[in-house]
Structure 1
Amino acid sequence: MTHDVRHDASGALMDAIAGRPVDLIINNAAQGASHAGLGSIAAEGVMNAVDVNVAGPLRMVQAILPNLLAAADPVIINVTSRLGSIEAQARGDFADLSTSYAYRISKAAQNMLTVSLAQELAGKVRCWAVHPGILATEMGQPGASKNPRVAARELRELVDSGDRTSPRFVSLGAADLAW
């Protein structure tokens, strides 16, 4: 089943859950925009990225919150990027990358969503922002070498670890990141 996260949860999606507890949700939709200088940035591209990367996960959590709260030990994972770290961006860690404003802004906002969810759902649902690594995918950076299957295995290990930290900004296979 596919679902466009720019829209509210569909009846088919909700029927598939059928009121059952949900232990884990992985919000993995992502949208960027073409890299451009300040004078050429299209506000529509930024808004589209925010809609997919921030409002999309928010819509999904809102739709299944009763199912999450019915689970014994639920986890929300928002797949993010190290590029959403305001601290790292302020240091200039990624100044040499040609990443769009839309992607960086929306991933920083997604990280704030993760923190906000963790604060509201404290003691009920663990909330993690997870940077999977520099994946060799169509959206990946040139020269990216991490196999998505490796990232999936590391993500599974993280979920199975029982880590109670919430919120947490995880970099799979590496040290946690600064917000």
Structure 2
Amino acid sequence: MDNSIALVTGANKGIGKEIARRLADAGHTVYVGSRDTVRGERAAEEIGGDARPLILDVTDAASVAEAVRQVAALDILVNNAGISGENRTPEREDTDAFRRIYETNVFGVVTTTNAFLPALRRSEHPRIVNISSGTGSLTWSTGPEFPHQGTYAAYRSSKAALNALTVFYSHALADDGIKVNALAPGLRRTDLNATAAASDGDPAEAAAGAVRLALLPDDGPSGEFFSWDGTSVPW
């Protein structure tokens, strides 16, 4: 996995920026995906190395298509772009909020992944990492690990859907040698939502887990769900 070319969506801040930074520090070329031109350029400059800004809105098919035209080769796709919502249970959440969150967290992943598959299929060591959430684990949601009582329902259900897609993509792309895994980054100090903003979790710690999956050896796992520390997370 030396001198790989990576794309990290939503990489102008938070966990995505730290993933891009770690990949660049390791000597890889990194496209810093960002919806905002100025923020993307600033992030790429701050990351340094061979970090390159790339305007990419995963909810806009035309934006994704333009990004594909600018990326001739790709080895690693990190689907990091994601949004949350209010701390609401499903019966209190507006349907439009579900649509808005799924548009980025689920449909955006499908749009971006499918668009970049031709480039990934040309790679000798293709990898896809989906940044999910431990709160999207149905096993944990029905146990004592996350006694949230259905809060953040739109966000958490979108991540459960992303987990399912991780499994389906891993099966569909196995013959192409593309490894597809999901990461539960843990609660991190980001602007994802109020709970995250108030936490003291270091985004760089989560990024290290994502980079491990991005640089898996050829005999590494696929279709799995891992925590930031490398331990398995139940679906």
TM-score, length basis structure 1: 0.89
Partner SS state of residue 78, structure 2: strand
2:183, 2:209 within 8 Å by CA — same for their partners in 1?
no
Provide the secondary structure at the position in 2 that maps to 1:78. Answer: strand
Corresponding residue for 1:120? 172
Residue ranges of structure 2 left out of the alignment (5+ in a row): 1-53
Indicate whether 1:90 and 2:121 are aligned: no
Query: Which residue is equivalent to 1:131?
Result: 184
* Separation in 2, partners of 1:69, 1:166: 16
CA contact (8 A) 1:76 1:127 kept: yes
CA distance in 2, matches of 1:49, 1:71: 31
User: Counterpart amino acid of 1:114?
Assistant: T
2:164, 2:78 → 1: CA distance?
Answer: 16
Relative contact order higher in (CA < 8 Å, ≥ 6 apart): 1
- Within the candidate set 106, 114, 122, 1:70 is matched to 122
CA distance in 2, matches of 1:70, 1:45: 37
Structure 1, residues 5-56: CA drift from partner, whole Å, max 9, x if none?
11215343122213x2x11000011122112244421011111111110110
8 Å Cα contact 1:32/1:45 also seen in 2: no
> What's the C-alpha RMSD, in Å, of the aligned pairs?
2.0
- Percentage of identical aligned residues: 28
Local SS of the residue matching 1:65: helix
Where structure 1 has 5 or more consecutive residues not aligned to the other structure, the ranges are none
Match of 2:208 among 150, 153, 161: 153
Q: Contact 1:169–1:176 at 8 Å: present in 2 too?
A: yes
With the length of structure 2 as denominator, give the TM-score of the two structures.
Answer: 0.69
**Number of equivalent positions:** 177
CA distance in 2: counterparts of 1:38 and 1:54, whole angstroms: 18
Offset of residue 82 of structure 1: 0.3
Tell me which amino acid in the other structure corresponds to 1:16.
Q
- Looking at structure 2, the residues matched to 39 and 153 of structure 1 have their Cα atoms a distance apart, in angstroms, of 36
1:68 to 1:38, Cα distance in 2 relative to 1, 3 A? closer
Structure-2 change in CA distance of 1:133 and 1:66 (3 Å): same
Aligned to 1:165: 221
User: Structure 1 residues 84, 67: CA separation in 2 closer, same or farther (over 3 Å shift)?
Assistant: same
Matches of 2:211 and 2:102, distance apart in 1? 27
Within the candidate set 1, 15, 23, 2:69 is matched to 15
